[in-house]
Amino acid sequence: MTLEIIRDMLGWCIIVNWIVLAWWLLFFIVAHDWMYRIHGKWFKIAVEKFDAIHYSGMAIFKIAILVFNLVPYLALRIVG
């Protein structure tokens, strides 16, 4: 596997992961009440805690995209 293939794969991973993150955010905004009702059946949590969990999850996911996809991609762009 060449560096070019790895760089292209990381580029596609960035795109796919940002689409997943955007979908999560959009779904959270549009279907918030429905999501809370579904999760409320499984877990007894307040709405504020539910929102904080999702907001934190999105933040961690975004940081993971940056650290594990974008930084290696940029490093390979600079090297190659």
Q: Is residue 79 within 8 Å of 3, Cβ to Cβ?
A: yes
pLDDT tens per residue across span 32-78: 999 999 999 999 999 999 999 999 999 999 999 999 999 999 999 99
Q: CA 75, 56, 7: angle at the middle one, nearest 5? A: 20
Q: Is 43 helix (H, G, I), strand (E, B) or coil?
A: coil
- Other beta carbons less than 10 A from residue 17's beta carbon: 18
- How many distinct structural domains can be found in the chain? 1
pLDDT in the model for residue 26: 98
Residue 69, CA distances (Å) to 27, 34, 55, 77, 80 in order: 23, 32, 21, 12, 16
pTM here is: 0.90
pLDDT in the model for residue 58: 98
Q: Is residue 60 within 8 Å of 4, Cβ to Cβ?
A: no
Range of the domain at 34: 3-79
